[in-house]
Amino acid sequence: MNEKGILFIISGPSGSGKGTVVEKLIKNKEYAVSISATTRAPRPYEEEGKHYFFKSKEDFEKMIENNMLLEHACFCGNFYGTPKKYVDEQLENGVNIILEIEVQGALQVKKLYPQSVLVFLAPPTLNELRKRLEGRGTEGCEIIDGRIERAREELKYIEEYDYLIINDFVENAVSKIMNIAMAEKLKVFRNQNLVKKIEGEI
């Protein structure tokens, strides 16, 4: 029997670089990324089913009622949630999966899957965060202010995470996450099959 996949959760303030870092990580075929459902309007470059599943509020509520979401949360006026089925299938098949979600959702998943690995990706400073959000150009001034406020709130939850990574340079952050993944894979409790093999039982 396969060892189960590892569930990696990457959180961090909007604009800290989660999307950028995850895009590089999944070039490595060992990881699958979960596509979330959201009631937020798509950004010009975003595609249905690639970046998000874009939903009306009514459809999103139906997903909650039908128990289709592993977790969900409201973020700056929009709802976001992780479809449950895909995550469970990947883990069952031994595929490592990445959830790129905000703090409230991360804490819900941590309760359901205590063996998940929680990584907090922070910007070097909140000033740099504002610059990145302005540079991305996908939100106006007021929404950026809201996201910076939310970032202050999210920073209070760092202690709940297993690892803190400062996204100074993308390549540094990616290689640190890959190192974390390597160490996590080698943990004894994730390698019970190997232990049995050494003992000659399989």
CA atoms within 13 A on the CB side of 85: 6
Structure tokens given for 108: 């819900």
Terminal-to-terminal C-alpha distance of the chain: 10
Closest by CA position to 95, among listed 181, 163, 173, 183:
181
Q: Which helix (H) or strand (E) holds 99?
A: strand 96-100
User: Kind of pairing, strands 78-83 and 69-75?
Assistant: antiparallel
Nearer to ligand ADP, 15 or 105 (CB): 15
Taking CB within 5 to 8 Å according to partner kind, which of ligand 5GP, ligand ADP, none is near residue 20? ligand ADP
102 binds, among ligand ADP, ligand 5GP, none (CB under 5 to 8 A by kind): ligand 5GP
Q: For ligand ADP, which residue of 44, 49, 77, 135 counts as binding (CB under 6 A)?
A: 135
Question: From the CB of 83, what's the least distance to ligand ADP, in Å?
Answer: 19
Binding span for ligand ADP by CB under 6 A among 18-26, 31-39, 55-63, 150-158: 18-26
By CB under 6 A, residue 164 contacts ligand ADP: no
The one of ligand ADP, ligand 5GP, none whose footprint includes residue 55, by CB under 5 to 8 A per kind, is: none
